[in-house]
Structure 1
Amino acid sequence: MIGEQQTPRATDVATTKLPDTWAHTPLTVVMPTYNEAGNLPGMVELLMGLDQPGLRLLVVDDSSPDGTGKIADELAEGFLTEDGKPRMSVLHRTAKDGLGRAYAAGMAKAVEDGAEYVLQMDADGSHPAGKIAEMLGVARSTGAGLVVGSRYVPGGTLSDAWGAHRKLLSRWANAYASTILGTRVRDITGGFNLWSAPALKAIDLASIGSAGYSFQVEMKFKALRRGFQVMEVPIHFEDRTVGESKMNLAVQLESIAMPWKLRARAGK
Structure 2
Amino acid sequence: MSVPHTPAVLTPLPAEWARTVTTVVMPTYNEAENLPMMAEALMALPLEGLRLLVVDDDSPDGTGRVADQLAEKYHEPGRPRVSVLHRTTKEGLGRAYAAGMARAVEDGAAYVLQMDADGSHPVGKVSEMLGVALSTGADVVVGSRYVPGGTLSAAWGAHRRLLSRWANAYAGTILGTRLRDITGGFNLWSAAALRSLDLDTIDSAGYSFQVEAKYRALRAGFTVVEVPIHFEDRTVGESKMSLAVQLESVAMPWRLRAKEMRSSGGRAR
TM-score normalised by structure 2 residue count: 0.93
Query: How many residues are matched?
Result: 254
Please, which of 25, 35, 40 is the counterpart of residue 35 of structure 2? Answer: 40
Structure 1 residue runs of 5 or longer lacking an equivalent are 1-13
Residues 1:68 and 2:63 are matched in the alignment: yes
Q: Distance in 2 between matches of 1:254 and 1:173?
A: 12
Match of 1:8 in 2: none
Match of 2:146 in 1: 152
Q: Distance in 2 between matches of 1:56 and 1:221?
A: 26
Q: Distance in 2 between matches of 1:84 and 1:219?
A: 33
Match of 2:221 in 1: 227
Q: Distance in 2 between matches of 1:133 and 1:49?
A: 12
Q: After the TM superposition, which residues 29-108 of structure 1 pair with which residues of structure 2 at under 5 Å, given as runs? A: 29-81=24-76, 83-108=77-102
How far did 1:142 drift?
Answer: 1.1
Residues 1:250 and 2:212 are matched in the alignment: no
Q: Which letter maps to 1:114?
A: G
Match of 2:184 in 1: 190
Q: After the TM superposition, which residues 72-221 of structure 1 pair with which residues of structure 2 at under 5 Å, given as runs? A: 72-81=67-76, 83-221=77-215
How far did 1:43 drift?
Answer: 0.4
Q: Which letter maps to 2:60?
A: P
Q: Which letter maps to 2:35?
A: L
Q: Distance in 2 between matches of 1:60 and 1:163?
A: 30
Q: Which letter maps to 2:12?
A: K
Q: Distance in 2 between matches of 1:138 and 1:180?
A: 29
Please, which of 7, 13, 38 is the counterpart of residue 18 of structure 1? Answer: 13
Q: Distance in 2 between matches of 1:38 and 1:80?
A: 21
Q: Distance in 2 between matches of 1:75 and 1:58?
A: 11
How far did 1:15 drift?
Answer: 7.1
CA RMSD of aligned residues (A): 1.0
How far did 1:79 drift?
Answer: 1.0
Residues 87-134 of structure 1: CA distance to partner in whole angstroms, max 9, x if unpaired? 100000000010000000000000000000000000000000100111
TM-score normalised by structure 1 residue count: 0.93
